Amino acid sequence: MALFQPQFTGNSLTARTVGRDRRALAIVLLITIFIFGGIGSRLAYLQLIEGEHLQQLAERNRIRVIPKQPERGNIFDRNGKVLASSRLSHAVYIWPQAPKKDTWETTRTRLASILKIPETEIQQRLDKAGYNSPNLVRIARDLNPAQITALAEYRNELRDVEVYIEAVRNYPNQQIAAHILGYTGEMNDEELAQKRSEGYRLGDIVGQMGVEAAFEKQLRGEWGGQQVEVDGAGRILRLLGEKTAKSGRDVHLTLDLELQKAAEVALGDRQGAIVALDPNNGAVLAMVSRPAFDPNIFSKRITPEIWQQLQSKQHPFINRALQSFPPASTFKVITTTAGIESGKFSHNATLPTYGCMNIGGTTFCDWNRAGFGRLGFVGALAWSSNTFFYQIGKGVGESTLIDWTRRYGFGQKTGIELASEESAGLVADDRWKQKNLNLPWSVGDTVNMSIGQGFLQVTPLQLAVMFAVPANGGYRVQPHLLKDNEDSKNWRESLNLKPETVRVLRQGLRQVVSGGTGQVLNLPTIPPVAGKSGTAQAFGKQAHAWFGAYAPADKPEIVVVAFAEHSGGGGGKVAAPMVLKVLETYFKK
C-alpha cells in the first residue's frame, strides 16, 4: 500500500499529455530566439553595414554649411579707372533640408508673392539642390527695400528662409564698353555640368560674355563659408569651422575709358562698330558696338519675357566689332600690297582707268562711271579707282591675291581674348566656291575681290589690324585687351614687305585725306592723318560705310576704324566724321 497517494485537481498525466509542456517551452524559446536574432541582425546591419551612411545622414541634419560667395575681382581701364566692380546687396536663401510638408506650401507661396517669382521656379531650385544638401540654396538676388521689409514682416511664415548680404556685379558706366566687359549671371544646368569638376556649384555666378567670361579664372575668387551645428528647429548652436572667402584678382585692360566714351558718342545710335588700337603693339584702346545694353540688368533675375525683349532689339548682345562684313575699298590696301610684292607691277607703275571695263564677259564699272585718267598706286588709292584695282587683281591672279589677304590676317581669328565671340570672316577660294556653290572660281571673282566685294567678309577689328601694317612699317599685330608691360615686339610679326611697298601705302593713304575721298579729316585740330574709305554694297539693303585711319601720319600712335551698318552714303561722308571725333579726343589728351 502506498504511503502517499498523489492527488490531481487539474490535468492528469496520461500517455497523451506526457511531454506537452516541454514542447511549448521549446516553441516559446525558439520564437524568442528568432525575434531577438532578427533584432540583433538588424542592429548589426545598421551598425556595421549602414552605420557610416546613417551617421552621415544624421550629420547632415545636424550640420549645415552657410556659404560665403567670393567678391569678384575688379576691372580697370589702362589708367586705373573702374569699369566693373562689386556692390553689396541682399539675397534670399533656403535650407533644402528644412522645409516641412505641412508648412512648405505656405512658405513657397509667400516667397513667390514677395519675390515675384513663380512657385514652380522656387521648387525647381530646391529639387536641383537635393533635399539632403547641407548647403543653402539661393532663390533670388539683389532684393529691393520693399522685398527686404516684406520678408522681415512675414518672418513667422518663413522660418526656413534666410536673407544674407552678398556682393553683386556693378558697372558704373552702364552701357559704356558693355560688349567688351560683358556681364555675369547664374550658371544654367549645362554650364554647371561642364564646370562642376572645376569646383563650381549650383547658384554660382560666372562671366557670361566679354572680359567677364574671358578672364573668369582670374576674376572668380574662391568660396568660403561657415560650418555650423543646428538643433531640431534649425537654430544655430555653435560654429564648427570657417573658411574665409578669397576675392578674385583684379584685371587691368588696355582700354582708355575717355576714348571709349568718345567712340560711343561718335557712333551714336547708328548700328555698327568703332575700333581703336595702338598700331605698334595691338593694344585695344576702344571698342564700341551698337545697339548696346546695360550689363547691370543681369544683377537681378532675368525672366524669359525680358530676355526675349532684349534680343528682339536688333541683337544688342552681338559685338559687331567682331562680326564680319564686306570691307569694300578699304581692301585696296591689300590689293596694292599684292600688286607690288608679286613683282607683276612696279611700285611706280601707272595704268589707264575707265568708266567701265569688260572682264570675262562681265561689265565692271568705276564708282564715278567715268574713270580718272592714268593713275599710279598712290593716286588710285587717293581716288579709290575701281578700274585701276580691277587690273591689279586680274594681273596678280587669284592665288597671289588670296595669299596676301590671308597674310594680313583675314579669314582667321585675330587672337584677341574674346575668341568665343569673334568671327574668322571669310576669304573664299576655288575649293570653297566648289563646295558651297558647286561652281568654279572665275576671273570675275578675283576682280570683285580686288575692291573688297564678292564673297570676302572682314571684321572691323581685322580691318584695324590691316591698317596697322602700313602704320607701323609692315608688322601684323595681335590685338589684345589685357594690359601688361611686354615689349611691343612680342605682339607683332613682320610681313617682310619691301620698303617701297610700305612707302607707297603710306603715301597713298595720306593723299586720301589730304586731297582725296577722306578730306573731312584734313583739319588743323588734329595731326596729319592717313586713311581709306569704303562703301560696301549690300544687296537689297542700304550700303555699309567704312573708314579706317591712323595718326600722326609720319609717326602713328593710333588706328581708328569706323563701320556703319546699312547706313547708306559713302564711307568718307558717314564713317570718316566718326573717326574724326575719336582722333580729336585722343590728341586733346
Judging by beta carbons within 10 Å of its beta carbon (0-12, 13-18, 19+), is residue 44 exposed, middle or buried? exposed
Q: What is the pLDDT of residue 346?
A: 96
Are the C-beta atoms of residues 428 and 377 closer than 8 Å to each other? no
Q: Which CATH architecture has domain 257-302+319-588?
A: 3-Layer(aba) Sandwich (3.40)
- Rg, Å, the chain Cα set: 37
> How many whole angstroms separate alpha carbon 536 and alpha carbon 256?
30
Sort strands 492-494 and 475-477 into parallel, antiparallel or unpaired. antiparallel
The CATH number given to 63-252 is: 3.90.1310.10
pLDDT band at 39 (very low <50, low <70, confident <90, very high): low
Q: Check pLDDT > 90 for residue 333.
A: yes
> How many whole angstroms separate alpha carbon 417 and alpha carbon 483?
12
pLDDT band at 6 (very low <50, low <70, confident <90, very high): very low
Q: What is the separation of C-alpha 405 from the centre of its chain, rounded to a whole number of angstroms?
A: 28
Are the C-beta atoms of residues 446 and 511 closer than 8 Å to each other? no
Q: Check pLDDT > 90 for residue 48.
A: no
Residue where the block lists cell 554649411: 65
Q: Which residues of 88-103 are buried (b: 16+ CB within 10 A; e: fewer)?
A: ebbbbbbbbbbbeeee
pLDDT in tens, 56-75: 544 555 666 666 777 889 99
pLDDT band at 116 (very low <50, low <70, confident <90, very high): confident
> How many whole angstroms separate alpha carbon 569 and alpha carbon 517?
13
Q: Check pLDDT > 70 for residue 472.
A: yes
Q: Check pLDDT > 70 for residue 419.
A: yes
Judging by beta carbons within 10 Å of its beta carbon (0-12, 13-18, 19+), is residue 284 exposed, middle or buried? buried
pLDDT in tens, 371-415: 999 999 999 999 999 999 999 999 999 999 999 999 999 999 999
Highest-confidence segment of 23-27, 154-158, 303-307, 513-517: 513-517
pLDDT band at 1 (very low <50, low <70, confident <90, very high): very low
Three-point CA angle 457, 508, 368, nearest 5°? 70
pLDDT in tens, 312-327: 667 888 999 999 999 9
251: closest CA among 479, 83, 421, 87?
83
Three-point CA angle 519, 467, 528, nearest 5°? 40
Residues 6+ positions from 408 with CB-CB distance below 8 Å = 334, 337, 465, 466, 469, 476, 495
The domain limits of the chain are: 63-252, 257-302+319-588
Tell me the mean pLDDT in the region 174-182: 95
pLDDT band at 342 (very low <50, low <70, confident <90, very high): very high
Are the C-beta atoms of residues 177 and 287 closer than 8 Å to each other? yes
> How many whole angstroms separate alpha carbon 71 and alpha carbon 281?
32
Do the domains at 63-252 and 257-302+319-588 have one common CATH topology? Answer: no
Tell me the mean pLDDT in the region 450-478: 97
Are the C-beta atoms of residues 517 and 372 closer than 8 Å to each other? no
